[in-house]
Amino acid sequence: MKFSVIIPAHNEEGFIERCLESIEAAAKHIAEDVEIIVSLNRCTDDTEDIARNHNAIIVKEDNKNLAKIRNAAARSASGDTIVTIDADSQMTATMLAEIEKNLSTGKYIGGGVIIRPERMSLGILMSVLTVVPVLLIHRVSGGLFWCYRRDFEAIGGFNESLVSAEDIDFAKRLKSYGKKLGKRFKTITKAQIITSCRKFDTFGDWCLFKNPRLVWKILRGHDQKAADDFYYEVDRTKSNKSPL
């Protein structure tokens, strides 16, 4: 089993090194090969240099569409297992071993993981609790996705008609496809990812409650302006700015 870990990256020089180091640490816990593919999106900083210093494969996709950015990396993958992680997240050391163990049982189509924010506040906690019911309704998880490449390709990868919420859509479709094959969607709990709170650092810890219309547009997935305001056109050198 060879792993292809794909990372979308737009001006991630402040985060991606820790992400890459976490993948390299996790790779030491398995015997299989691990390739890292970084999908650069309109980068004007040192993201590419950092990725190359870690021997990552580089692809470029300039569309402001995370589904296209991730799929571009997946098309360059040579592994039989796809793992996705965001550049501002880090996987714990046993993540790849846990993925390997779960896929080898034949019981699971793939799945997601437990997400740990790098810091906590009342606003962040309430935001997490607001999102949890959505995941419980669909019985999926996210943050980092894992599955065999053949299954990733069978469901068409990420839905490129969506400019946001493509992760929830992917999880739902992967789960549905697995059900047809008699396999379950699995949330790994024995390994986690630690993700940055940069959205909260930028917009404020209560941003989801102060901007409910924006949240609704983001969850629907088709509003480019809303996605630009919250993802693609954010100045990451600034903080505490409202997205609207």
Give the pLDDT of residue 241: 39
pLDDT digits (tens, 9 = 90+) for 167-184: 999 999 999 999 999 999
Rounded CA separation 123/218 (Å): 19
More confident call, 179 vs 132: 179
Q: Which element (helix H / strand E) includes 60?
A: strand 57-60
Give the pLDDT of residue 142: 81
Give the pLDDT of residue 134: 65
Structure tokens at 97: 């071993």
> Percent of the chain scored above 70 by pLDDT?
93
pLDDT digits (tens, 9 = 90+) for 219-241: 899 999 999 999 999 875 543 33
pLDDT digits (tens, 9 = 90+) for 73-112: 999 999 999 999 999 999 999 999 999 999 999 999 999 9
Give the pLDDT of residue 137: 66
Give the pLDDT of residue 33: 97
| Pairing mode of beta strands 34-40, 108-117 | unpaired
Q: Which residues have CB under 8 Å from 102's CB, separation 6+?
A: 108, 111, 186, 188
Q: Are 139 and 178 in contact (CB under 8 A)?
A: no
Q: Would you state the CATH architecture of domain 3-121+140-197?
A: Alpha-Beta Complex (3.90)
Q: State how far Cα 172 lies from the chain centre.
A: 15
Give the pLDDT of residue 235: 75
Mean pLDDT for 23-46 is 97
Mean pLDDT for 141-158 is 96
Q: Return the minimum-mean-pLDDT range out of 67-71, 132-136, 159-163, 164-168.
A: 132-136
Give the pLDDT of residue 147: 98
Q: Which residues have CB under 8 Å from 125's CB, separation 6+?
A: none
Give the pLDDT of residue 135: 65
- pTM over 0.85? The answer is yes
* pLDDT band of 37, cuts 50, 70, 90: very high
Helix 122-138 to helix 166-180 angle (10° resolution) is: 30
Q: Which residues have CB under 8 Å from 7's CB, separation 6+?
A: 16, 19, 20, 36, 37, 38, 39, 51, 56, 73, 84, 85, 86, 87
